Structure 1
């Protein structure tokens, strides 16, 4: 039986969400996924449908989302559905929703120098085999400065500052580029690369996303072996999501 993936694209057109979504669709179909494309956030309205998926891939920048939709996604991911995204399509999606940021592991705050900055992606040796065989590589794009969850496992970094600005008065920092996170029984994967479709098409970036898709989709199998309802049945209670703050 084919695994099922939902790609929801939209928001700011500068990130070429439709073109990136099509590239993701092609990668997933090569891996024998059944893929649904949507350009509506209402695709998150049916919680039971979301729970039936293996993978949710948001690619939506600078939008607003109903709180209940984020709670639906959170419950689906906690039950074992994978969550994968890149660049502003996942970690600059909904700036006013802290629940989204809690689940995804971080949020964008700046890209000093804007587009066209040359920087190095440094692959980390870690417990994860996801980037095995990849070497450090240079890229010319936006270099994302992120506020991120200390619970994430960082798989690759980039060094700041590269571009001058007020942030350069601080010490040198290694900022995460790629990370993984657990959300209940679900696997969350994020890569800050992917400003536009041409960046996603770079072989290293395409391979990184492919591996992220496959790894994140493994959570569903693990969940089938456990009593998910007993462990993570009440996402609202164990995260505080949906509170009035």
Structure 2
């Protein structure tokens, strides 16, 4: 049985407990043994993290001890998967560049705030993570991120939609969903998920389910290499 750790907390506006519950239910449906914690001290035991198949951070902003970041990083490098959504993973610790390097990006803005209607464009490829999923529209916050150029982009959204100083630049396709490798570990991120109701949208939930399972499969593969 695969083992997963979900750690939730930080800013309450992103409904971290509710989002963590959704992820826990998904993983339990797929026969995972799931531990859910609301303290960053769950990252204190580096040896235990290396025994996991998957780590799911659901933590917006805040600060994290550097030792904890190192523990998570070493676990992922060892093959443990890392997967998350929106602020729960790529707006977690704004002052920690090591966390941002590992996760592949950092949120910087949502022009127009909540209620922007925009399209999520699937980057059709051979990846099983997006097979059968069509472009879809969401009404939420649209996220502008600073993104690691090494990531494999699986979905994008076109800026600008909402007005703002950024509109004087050329149009850009901003990554929404991506994967990357960190050592032997698989990293998956989906910027959608401002609150639990967005995570529950069928397309978003399907993308997250696939991403969680994909990231968790890397541990067994790494151990055979």
Cross-structure match for 1:194: 193
Q: Quick one: distance in 2 between partners of 1:183 and 1:62?
A: 22
For 1:76-124, what per-residue CA distance to the aligned partner results, in whole angstroms no more than 9, with x for missing partners? 0000000001001100000000000000000000000011100000000
Bigger Cα Rg: 1
Structure-1 residue corresponding to 2:123: 124
Provide the residue aligned with 1:133 in structure 2.
Answer: 132
Structure 1 position 127, deviation (Å): 3.8
TM-score, normalization by structure 2: 0.99
**Using the alignment, how far apart are the partners of 2:106 and 2:223 within structure 1?**
31
1:126 shift after superposition = 2.4
Task: Name the counterpart of 1:50.
Answer: 49
2:163 corresponding residue in structure 1: 164
Unaligned runs of 5+ in 1: 227-245
- Structure 1 window deviating more from structure 2 (217-226 vs 49-58): it is 217-226
Alignment of 1:30-69 (within 5 A): 30-69=29-68
Task: Report the more deviating stretch, 120-129 or 41-50.
Answer: 120-129
Distance 1:7 1:128 in 2: 25
Q: In the aligned structure 1, how far is the partner of 2:95 from the partner of 2:126?
A: 33
* RMSD, aligned CA: 0.6
Question: Who is 1:91 aligned against?
Answer: 90
- The equivalent residue for 1:108 is 107
SS in 2 for 1:217: helix
Measure how far apart 1:125 and its partner are: 1.4
Q: What is the rounded CA distance, in whole Å, between the counterparts of 1:128 and 1:173 in structure 2?
A: 23
Give the paired residue count. 225
Distance in 2 (CA, whole Å) between partners of 1:53 and 1:221 is 11
SS of residue in 2 equivalent to 1:218: helix
What is the TM-score normalised by the length of structure 1? 0.91
Q: Work out the CA distance in 2 between the residues paired with 1:121 and 1:44.
A: 33
Does residue 148 in structure 1 map to residue 147 in structure 2?
Answer: yes
- Cα distance between partner residues in 1 of 2:64 and 2:186: 22
C-alpha distance in structure 1 between counterparts of 2:161 and 2:17, whole Å? 30
Q: Which residue is equivalent to 1:203?
A: 202
CA distance in 2, matches of 1:71, 1:126: 33
| Residues in 1 aligned to 2:35 and 2:90: alpha-carbon distance in whole angstroms | 21
* Higher mean C-alpha displacement, 135-144 vs 121-130: 121-130
Q: Deviations over 1:168-222 (max 9, x none)?
A: 0000000000000000110000000000000011011111010001100111111
Alpha-carbon displacement from aligned partner over 1:126-169 (angstroms, at most 9, x marks no partner): 24221100000000001000000000000000000000000000
Distance 1:148 1:126 in 2: 20
